[in-house]
Structure 1
């Protein structure tokens, strides 16, 4: 395989970190919009508080997993996070509620978990 086409853990962590930092910023800045797009719910003051808290956590996860050479802890952390979030969001989509971005988010996290597991 051509070296430029190889998906390395470094590339996977870069994608994961950038996506989680961007999502965290979106939760901090626009919790009502993200609640609607992701979960199909109308945000409340309480959901906004939790959404912003989650946004801070996602930014921290993205920073903590920012790729460094041979960082197995970051790979394991992102593998667990992506796998757990894919399962939980799928559960939410089937049994609770679903927004426009929910199923694309499930697919993204499941794919990232599968790719990270292969590394």
Structure 2
């Protein structure tokens, strides 16, 4: 069996959902650390407040796209999210700021976009 053929929409959505839920939990519990590692910014009360809101949204996205059953809406949502986030994080990395995890995050979201497009 060709390795690319074994990557099913179910597997892709599972990876995406798990990563987004984990990131959301990290933003809720340690918003300053995530902000520093991802964007290279120092935490303030304001950045922590927005990071926690974003964390809740990521958890909701992960739950909504949990792949049981695999729905076209979940695939489209994750495709849109991953594509836009890859572009936006790349923009932030080039023009604003970056942390040690920024470019790996860009690569992950770009890869998920490409794989979801193929499905």
TM over 0.5: yes
Q: How does 1:1-119 map to 2 (within 5 A)?
A: 1=1, 6-119=6-119
1:69 Cα deviation from its structure 2 partner: 3.2
Inter-partner Cα distance in structure 2 for 1:69 and 1:78: 15
Residue 71 to residue 40, structure 1, CA distance change in 2 (3 Å): same
1:112 Cα deviation from its structure 2 partner: 0.2
Number of equivalences: 119
Inter-partner Cα distance in structure 1 for 2:2 and 2:48: 46
CA-to-aligned-CA distance 1:28-62 (integer Å, 9 cap, x gap): 00001001000001011000000000000000000
1:68 Cα deviation from its structure 2 partner: 2.1
SS in 1 for 2:98: coil
1:70 Cα deviation from its structure 2 partner: 3.8
Identify unmatched segments of 5+ residues in structure 2.
Answer: none
Q: CA RMSD in A?
A: 1.5
CA-to-aligned-CA distance 1:67-117 (integer Å, 9 cap, x gap): 023411000000000000000000000000000000000000000000001
Stretches of 4+ moved more than 4 A in 1? none
